Amino acid sequence: MLALVWLALGLLLAGISLPLMTVEQLWLFENRFSLWSGLIQMIGEGRWLLALLVGCFSVALPLLKLSMLLRALGGSGSRVRRWLEWMHHYGKWSMLDVFVVAVLLVSVKLGALAKVHIHLGLYAFAASVLLTMMVTGWLMRQSSGAPHT
């Protein structure tokens, strides 16, 4: 499981830095961006609140969750349970759901004016989310003493 957490971390970092999508407007202009470049652009345009929200929910919290998973895998007993319970409380607000909503908003807002092409960064980000969910579920079952398959 430790290898899966490290893989999820690598995929998350790739998902943050690799291009997520290209927006093609009127067949003349293209804008390719990553999550990181999008955050930088939001800050540059003075959209601090939006940059803070996306940065927290799509970058900081997933990184925190993966670091907590690494600690939980290295711990034992009640310590693991405490980390998992804390992750359970805030984990609902992190990662894919907020990010997917943002991507959908961009796609709907552009409508017929532009085409959106998805790139590897989005797939890496989604794979990181799925791996993180899988490892968290496995750890929850292990720490509760439930049999696993």
**CB of 139 within 8 A of CB of 82?**
no
Q: What is the pLDDT of residues 119-140, one digit of tens each?
A: 899 889 889 988 988 888 888 7
User: 111-129 as b/e, with b when 16 or more CB fall inside 10 Å?
Assistant: eeebeeeeeebbebbbbbb
- The pTM score is 0.79
Helix axes 120-144, 78-91, angle to 10 degrees: 140
Per-residue pLDDT at 36: 92
**CB of 98 within 8 A of CB of 59?**
no
Question: What 3-state class would DSSP assign to 115?
Answer: strand
Tell me how far apart the alpha carbons of residues 145 and 147 are, in angstroms, rounded to a whole number: 6
- Per-residue pLDDT at 104 exceeds 70: no
